[in-house]
């Protein structure tokens, strides 16, 4: 029975419409001379939406999630989840959250089914209900066949899916996904993304941390960019993309002499964003920042109409480094070579 | 508790300047009513959680039967070793034979076994923390102590298995109960109670130290002098005075004496009370420290 706050209830009474509210959050590790993992972070997650927290390794993403899930106490600032204060009401808060970390938090010696059953019991579901819910989620996350195998024998993707299933047992109102696809291959990554999308469709509020621009784009409606414990940019995904440049189209004309004509043709359309088109004669390439697939189609159609022949075309998503470059005008200090290189669309 | 309704501070959008901390149904007028009351875990829930976690630990043993090797083999090896290596000579000086030494050393080994098995809790605790599953437990609406209590319940089970095998070995080698079966069970209960109190010490160590190996290292340093500087293996009468003083105050001597006299007959009151006092004292000091440490561990 409903020990958990179901997602269809609005724990906050709809007062702010924010499932997560963070103000001036500070966390310092290793004494006064130590590093500031979080240095005055403010952020809000609107109910029923996905906020992507984008940042390189060591930016403070995990610390943020650990504070919001009561694993770590902040040094200053406030954080509320579903209206509950992390410091003053941790017990109530734990009833409404689910956490899937970078490292699968399941018991490896237990089977997938045993893991989910145990969590059901810990969430005060009856034996019968725990079994039912475990089977339901195993089915949904395509783990039924492996249900009786110990989790230690699962592949990385299966383990991550089991972890997600475990977080979903109590139908949490707020779900934290801390780098849910780090270390997964592209196919498995897509599977996890599909699951996250269906959770959101059911009304869960999600705080997603990621190092991948593409992941944030795929899942989040709003983005917060964090670096060295500070928020350095935020807003809607499109807004940020416009700021960063979104995808870039690379066009190679059959005849390099056509480059200037191509550049003119594209900039003259007056379409939003396309004015940034730039010809780079040394590479024989035309770079066109685009904001949508429609723009891509429009550009190609236009060049066709003008009889400008294209030898090769490619798109390029900005890597995290490029996002940072665009926002701050400088490279990140942290290593971010784990971000995927160019992802061809 | 039946259903948990989220705190809904009644408000009208027009007049809600500052949100007050949601008052739970807990005691009013306290310093911080929001932190008590509603979030509390009821006793029945708590027992259910402990049950689920005990089941987890039991399933772990089922999945990894090798983890029972210590419990199965330690009592066999120790009994054989001590009875056949020291049995002849110590038995003689006790004014008897090897068989008499069996009756002397097996109750002592019962005390030692509890200590060795409780040490495993510390290393296990440390290992558990390396895994994400502990994070999951700590973000769930369960009392954090339930994770520790479940661990102790399972270890007590392991201790009982080891004790049963030890007694079986003892009987095989000629041990006799000179009192009654009831007193034998009393002796078992006493060593389990003392062993359980030591588990808190090792849990605390496990939570404090960085690696499982370090826990084991420190534990051995403490265990060796305590075990051998006691009346477990030999009567302290021939030891030098300073060592006798040590063994007198060594709780393991109290436990060994109590168990021995409960099986072989003899005065038990003093040693039983001393053992119980030690067990209670150790638990009262280390259990809250361990739970506190567990709560804060990040």
Question: In this predicted structure, what is the pLDDT of residue A266?
Answer: 84
B21 pLDDT higher than 60: no
- The two three-digit tokens of residue B203, written as one number: 């849990």
- Hey, where are the domains in chain A? 18-241, 247-316
Provide, as residue numbers in chain B, all residues whose Cβ is less than 8 Å from the Cβ of A69: 139
Question: In this predicted structure, what is the pLDDT of residue A214?
Answer: 80
Question: In this predicted structure, what is the pLDDT of residue B10?
Answer: 38
A318 pLDDT higher than 50: yes
Digit-coded pLDDT (tens) for A18-31: 899 999 999 998 87
Q: Among the ranges A161-165, A234-238, B291-295, which has the highest mean pLDDT value?
A: A161-165
Question: In this predicted structure, what is the pLDDT of residue A320?
Answer: 58
Question: Under an 8 A CB cutoff, do B136 and A13 touch?
Answer: no
B1 pLDDT higher than 60: no
B31 within a domain of the structure (yes/no): no
Torsion of CA A227, A231, A236, A241, to 10 degrees: -40
Please tell me the distance in Å from A188's CA to the nearest CA on chain B.
20
Q: Give burial (CB, 10 Å; 0-12/13-18/19+) of B115.
A: buried
Q: Span A74-78, mean pLDDT?
A: 94
Task: Assign a CATH topology to domain A18-241.
Answer: Rossmann fold (3.40.50)
A237 pLDDT higher than 60: yes
Q: Span B103-107, mean pLDDT?
A: 91
Torsion of CA A269, A270, A273, A276, to 10 degrees: 70
Label the pairing between strands A35-46 and A97-100. unpaired
Does the beta carbon of A168 lie under 8 angstroms from any beta carbon of chain B? no
B78 within a domain of the structure (yes/no): yes
Chain B residue at shortest CA distance from A172: B140
Q: Span B90-108, mean pLDDT?
A: 86
B39 closest CB neighbour out of A2, A3, A91: A91
Beta-carbon contacts below 8 Å between A and B: 131
A62 pLDDT higher than 80: yes
DSSP 8-state class, residue A106: S
List the CATH code of the domain at A247-316.
3.30.70.100
Question: In this predicted structure, what is the pLDDT of residue B169?
Answer: 94
Question: Under an 8 A CB cutoff, do A15 and B13 touch?
Answer: yes
Confidence of residue B100 (pLDDT cuts 50, 70, 90): confident
B29 within a domain of the structure (yes/no): no
B132 closest CB neighbour out of A4, A73, A103: A103
Write down the mean pLDDT value for chain B: 82
Digit-coded pLDDT (tens) for B243-294: 999 998 899 999 999 999 999 988 889 999 999 999 999 999 999 999 888 8
ipTM exceeding 0.85? Answer: no
Paired with B136 in beta bridges are none
Provide, as residue numbers in chain A, all residues whose Cβ is less than 8 Å from the Cβ of B56: 107, 110, 114, 118
Does the beta carbon of A82 lie under 8 angstroms from any beta carbon of chain B? yes
Residue with tokens 């440049």: A245
| A275-280 CB contacts, 8 Å cutoff, 24+ apart | A276/A245
B118 within 8 A of B25, measured Cβ to Cβ: no
Confidence of residue A334 (pLDDT cuts 50, 70, 90): very low
A54 within 8 A of A216, measured Cβ to Cβ: yes
Confidence of residue B17 (pLDDT cuts 50, 70, 90): very low
Digit-coded pLDDT (tens) for B22-46: 333 333 333 333 434 456 788 899 9
A68 pLDDT higher than 90: yes
Question: In this predicted structure, what is the pLDDT of residue A198?
Answer: 84
B262 within 8 A of B268, measured Cβ to Cβ: yes
A270 pLDDT higher than 90: no
d(CA A165, CA A158): 10
Percent of chain A with pLDDT over 90: 34
Residue B292: which domain range?
Answer: 43-296
Question: Under an 8 A CB cutoff, do A108 and B32 touch?
Answer: no
Digit-coded pLDDT (tens) for B107-163: 999 988 888 888 878 777 777 777 778 888 989 999 888 988 998 999 999 999 999
Confidence of residue A244 (pLDDT cuts 50, 70, 90): low
Digit-coded pLDDT (tens) for A113-143: 999 999 999 999 999 999 999 999 999 888 9
B127 within a domain of the structure (yes/no): yes
* pTM to 2 decimal places: 0.75
B2 pLDDT higher than 50: no
Bigger pLDDT: A138 vs A268: A138
Q: Span B54-80, mean pLDDT?
A: 90
Q: Span A38-57, mean pLDDT?
A: 90
Provide, as residue numbers in chain B, all residues whose Cβ is less than 8 Å from the Cβ of A73: 298
Question: Under an 8 A CB cutoff, do A105 and B19 touch?
Answer: no
Question: Under an 8 A CB cutoff, do A92 and B7 touch?
Answer: yes
Chain A residue at shortest CA distance from B294: A71
Count of domains forming chain B: 1
B33 within a domain of the structure (yes/no): no
Bigger pLDDT: A248 vs B71: B71
Best of B5, B131, B132 to substitute, by most chain A Cβ atoms within 10 angstroms, is: B132
User: Cβ neighbours of residue B19 under 8 Å, at least 6 residues apart?
Assistant: A15, A83, B9, B11
B260 within a domain of the structure (yes/no): yes
- The two three-digit tokens of residue B65, written as one number: 């039967």
Question: Under an 8 A CB cutoff, do A89 and B1 touch?
Answer: no
Q: Which residue intervals of chain B are DSSP H helices? A: 43-63, 69-85, 87-93, 98-129, 133-138, 144-172, 181-208, 212-228, 241-249, 251-264, 269-296
Bigger pLDDT: A18 vs B11: A18
Bigger pLDDT: A275 vs A189: A189
Write down the mean pLDDT value for chain A: 82
Question: Under an 8 A CB cutoff, do B11 and A122 touch?
Answer: no
């Amino acid at each position: 029975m409903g020990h958990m706050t179901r997602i269809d209830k609005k724990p906050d009474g709809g007062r702010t419409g924010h499932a997560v509210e963070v103000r001036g959050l500070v966390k310092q590790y290793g004494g006064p001379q130590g590093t500031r993992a979080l240095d005055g972070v403010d952020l809000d997650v609107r109910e029923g939406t996905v906020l992507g927290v984008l940042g390189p390794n060591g930016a403070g993403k995990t610390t943020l999630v650990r504070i919001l899930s009561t694993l770590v106490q902040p040094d200053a600032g406030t954080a509320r989840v579903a209206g509950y204060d992390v410091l003053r009401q941790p017990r109530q808060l734990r009833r409404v959250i689910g956490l899937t970390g970078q490292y699968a938090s399941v018991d490896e010696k237990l089977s997938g089914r045993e893991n989910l059953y145990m969590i059901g019991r810990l969430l005060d579901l009856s034996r019968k209900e725990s079994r039912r819910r475990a089977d339901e989620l195993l089915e949904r996350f395509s783990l039924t066949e492996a249900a009786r195998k110990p989790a230690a024998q699962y592949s990385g993707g299966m383990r991550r899916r089991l972890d997600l299933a475990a977080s979903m047992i109590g139908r949490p109102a707020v779900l934290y996904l801390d780098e849910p696809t780090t270390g997964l291959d592209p196919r498995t990554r897509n599977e996890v993304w599909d699951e996250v999308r269906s959770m959101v469709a059911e009304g869960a509020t999600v705080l997603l941390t990621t190092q991948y621009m593409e992941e944030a784009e795929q899942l989040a409606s709003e983005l917060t960019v964090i670096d060295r414990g500070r928020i350095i940019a935020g807003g809607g995904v499109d807004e940020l993309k416009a700021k960063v440049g979104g995808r870039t189209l690379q066009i190679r004309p059959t005849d390099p002499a056509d480059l200037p004509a191509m550049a003119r043709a594209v900039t003259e359309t007056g379409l939003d964003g396309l004015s940034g088109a730039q010809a780079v004669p040394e590479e024989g390439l035309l770079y066109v920042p685009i904001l949508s697939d429609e723009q891509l189609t429009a550009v190609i159609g236009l060049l066709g109409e003008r009889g400008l022949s294209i030898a090769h075309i490619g798109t390029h998503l900005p890597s995290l480094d490029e996002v940072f470059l665009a926002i701050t005008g400088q490279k990140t200090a942290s290593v971010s070579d784990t971000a995927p290189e160019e992802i061809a669309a | 508790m039946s259903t948990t309704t989220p705190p809904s501070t009644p408000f009208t959008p027009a007049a809600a300047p500052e949100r007050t901390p949601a008052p739970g149904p807990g005691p009013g007028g306290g310093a911080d009513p929001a932190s008590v009351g509603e979030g509390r875990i009821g006793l029945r829930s708590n027992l259910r959680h402990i049950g689920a976690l005990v089941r987890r630990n039991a399933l772990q043993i089922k999945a990894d039967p090798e983890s029972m090797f210590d419990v199965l083999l330690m009592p066999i090896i120790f009994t054989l070793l001590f009875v056949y290596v020291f049995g002849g000579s110590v038995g003689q000086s006790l004014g008897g034979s090897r068989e008499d030494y069996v009756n002397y050393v097996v109750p002592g080994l019962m005390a030692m076994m509890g200590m060795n098995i409780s040490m495993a809790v510390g290393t296990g605790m440390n290992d558990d923390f390396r895994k994400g599953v502990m994070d999951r437990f700590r973000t769930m609406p369960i009392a954090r102590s339930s994770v520790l209590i479940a661990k102790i319940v399972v270890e007590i089970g392991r201790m009982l298995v080891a004790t049963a095998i030890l007694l079986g070995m003892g009987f095989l080698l000629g041990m006799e109960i000179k009192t009654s079966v009831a007193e034998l069970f009393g002796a078992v209960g006493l060593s389990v109670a003392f062993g359980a109190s030591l588990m808190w010490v090792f849990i605390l160590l496990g939570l404090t130290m960085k690696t499982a190996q370090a826990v084991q290292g420190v534990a051995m340093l403490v265990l060796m002098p305590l075990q051998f500087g006691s009346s477990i293996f030999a009567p302290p009468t021939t030891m030098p005075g300073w060592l006798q003083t040590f063994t007198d105050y060594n709780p393991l001597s109290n436990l060994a004496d109590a168990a021995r006299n409960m099986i072989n007959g003899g005065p038990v009151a003093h040693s039983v009370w001393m053992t119980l006092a030690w067990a209670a004292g150790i638990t009262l000091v280390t259990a809250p420290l361990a739970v506190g440490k567990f709560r804060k561990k990040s």
